[in-house]
């Protein structure tokens, strides 16, 4: 750092103090002489301050002078400037790391990371979670259903027939209502279940209403479509599209909405291992 000499203060002429002078009336000051007929010594010293380019804070020091009448008048004079260093940000403690994200439920698992239908959890018509791993060892036919479609009567009727024939051999139908095609499934879950069970004697499980296409598509349907693409792309084309799943949860075939359930009976029997 640079050495900056501090200028000497102005000499203060000191009044003579006689025997009759009232020392109690003498002015109180650090410049007051210690004995009569003496003069203040000339002061000189130097200090070292760190050299810096940052903004500085100026300090002013008082310089005193005494007149012949021993009256002291303080005057201010800029004397010395130096810098107060800014706080070092490097010494500040680092911010705490963000908390880890909560684990995603299986129902929200990305379709690309799943290897089986059994990796998913869906909701039933009453809103309760259903772990599809409970269907391990069973052959599944997954269908998006609707109550007001031109294909409703034929498909619901034949689905009931298939289920009645093979339910005791390890066959299960999973029905997912969907209102994305012509708004043909507008009812509530309760109304949909009542319609299918009352009119078509559906005994297989009917799940919560879902989207099968688009950004809000149910994860299970994203997986189904990525496993078996359709003739004109992966998207579901209409109500009653069908996916056949083997006992290990792998998608083995996909059928168009116009394919009747009874026409795929031979494929179901093959997966069941029956003649």
* Pairwise CA distance, residues 8 & 80, whole Å: 13
Q: What is the pLDDT of residues 189-209, one digit of tens each?
A: 999 999 999 999 999 999 999
Structure tokens, 223: 């997986």
Q: What's the whole-number mean pLDDT along residues 210-231?
A: 89
pLDDT at residue 186, as a whole number: 97
Residue percentage of the chain with pLDDT more than 90: 54
Architecture of the structural domain at 111-272: 3-Layer(aba) Sandwich (3.40)
Residues 6+ apart with CB under 8 A from 233: none
The residues with which 47 forms a beta bridge, in sequence order, are 4
pLDDT at residue 9, as a whole number: 54
149 is known as an active-site residue: yes
User: Which of the two residues, 85 and 241, has the higher pLDDT score?
Assistant: 241
pLDDT reading at 84 higher than 60: no
Q: What is the DSSP letter of 14?
A: -
Q: From the candidates 45, 149, 178, 197, which is the catalytic residue?
A: 149
pLDDT at residue 127, as a whole number: 95
Domain ranges of the chain: 111-272
Residues 6+ apart with CB under 8 A from 175: 143, 144, 145, 159, 196, 202, 204, 205, 206, 207
Q: What is the pLDDT of residues 163-194, one digit of tens each?
A: 999 999 999 999 999 999 999 999 999 999 99
* Pairwise CA distance, residues 123 & 108, whole Å: 12
CB contact at 8 A, 156 and 261: no
Structure tokens, 99: 């908390």
Residues 6+ apart with CB under 8 A from 56: 81, 82, 83, 84
Confidence of residue 94 (pLDDT cuts 50, 70, 90): confident
CB contact at 8 A, 13 and 67: yes
Q: What is the pLDDT of residues 124-146, one digit of tens each?
A: 999 999 999 999 999 999 999 99
CB contact at 8 A, 198 and 106: no
């Amino acid at each position: 750092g640079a050495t900056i000499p501090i200028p000497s203060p102005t000499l203060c002429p000191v009044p003579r103090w006689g025997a009759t002078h009232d020392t109690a009336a003498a002015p109180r000051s650090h410049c007051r002489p210690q004995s009569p007929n003496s003069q203040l010594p000339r002061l000189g010293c130097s200090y070292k301050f760190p050299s810096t380019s940052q903004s500085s804070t100026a300090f002013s020091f008082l310089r005193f002078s005494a007149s012949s009448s021993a009256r002291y008048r303080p005057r201010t004079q800029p004397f010395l400037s130096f810098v107060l260093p800014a706080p070092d940000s490097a010494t500040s403690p680092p911010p705490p790391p963000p908390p880890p994200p909560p684990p995603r439920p299986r129902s929200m698992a990305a379709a690309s990371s799943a290897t089986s239908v059994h990796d998913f959890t869906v909701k039933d018509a009453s809103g309760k979670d259903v772990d599809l791993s409970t269907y391990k060892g069973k052959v599944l036919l997954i269908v998006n259903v609707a109550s007001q479609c031109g294909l409703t009567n034929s498909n619901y009727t034949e689905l009931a027939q298939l289920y009645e024939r093979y339910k005791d051999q390890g066959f299960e139908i999973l029905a997912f209502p969907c209102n994305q095609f012509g708004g043909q499934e507008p009812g509530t879950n309760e109304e949909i279940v009542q319609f299918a069970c009352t009119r078509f004697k559906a005994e297989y499980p009917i799940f919560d209403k879902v989207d099968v296409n688009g950004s809000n598509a149910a994860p299970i349907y994203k997986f189904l479509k990525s496993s078996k693409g359709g003739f004109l792309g992966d998207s579901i084309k209409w109500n009653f599209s069908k996916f056949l799943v083997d006992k290990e949860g792998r998608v083995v075939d996909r059928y168009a909405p116009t394919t009747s359930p009874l026409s795929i009976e031979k494929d179901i029997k093959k997966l069941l291992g029956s003649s």
